[in-house]
Structure 1
Amino acid sequence: MDRFIRLDMKGHWKGTEHQSSILGIGDETGDWEQGVSCYPLDDDDKGYALAELRDYWDNIASLHDIEDYEDMQVTIFQGEYITDGSDAENIATCERTISEKDAIPLMKQVFEAYEDYFYGDIEEHEYHERLEKIEL
């Protein structure tokens, strides 16, 4: 079984019963993914998952400031990959929740590393090395 990571509003994670909405509008339209939208959390490349997580929430969901993550949590769960989702993320089953933690400490580290890379203070490989060192 694989591990996956995602962000949720605190109190919204439903564990094995969770189902993500398509484009975040499932409640309004009834359009739901086949499972949980997430990013693969591989032991040998967790930096990829963290970079993708930041990219989605910063660029697609438009949460640019660390304060935007105040009511959010990082959810790590175990499950099986199903397909690609509507926003090019993975869709997976949830077989077991591994952890639920406040999002700000993680996202602060991810954003600081990205800003150093974006402004040219570090190279891309150094950015990914910093992401790899972040404790989950």
Structure 2
Amino acid sequence: MGKDLTQEWLGEIQGLKQQLAELQNARNEAWESAEKWRKLYNTEAEQRRTDNQLAQQAIASLNGQLQKIKGIDDKTLPDADTSSAIHAEVIQLQSVEELQTKLIAATKERDRLLLALKTEQEEHAKTRTNLTTALGDAIDGMKQRS
């Protein structure tokens, strides 16, 4: 009977060793899986931080371009209210896409104003030429009468 009990205990010990080995393997696999997911998470988080930083840089760059295109600086717009209003409007933009849309609109408006200025300058030059010609004709007419 002692021998049977010893065999039973040895079998139980062997079974417990087997369970322990299986549990250790399962623990190691779970640890490796957790490490894999942790690395993936960290990689993704780093990519998101990089994307965010690049987006912030793009927004800052586009803000600078927008201000340059509109001629917005303290020299050209001494009115603090106007400058503050523009600054508040730019700050409200939440994404690069919104800023790009605003920049496109500002560029179109600038182009329209440049065209209007060019047209006005051409009209001014024509008027000056016409007045100069009329003045010359008037002087010639006066000379012929004398």
Q: Which has the higher contact order (CA 8 A, sep 6+)?
A: 1
Q: Give the alignment's TM-score, normalised by structure 2.
A: 0.22
Query: Where is the helix percentage greater, Structure 1 or Structure 2?
Result: 2
Structure number having the greater strand percentage = 1
TM-score using structure 1 length = 0.23
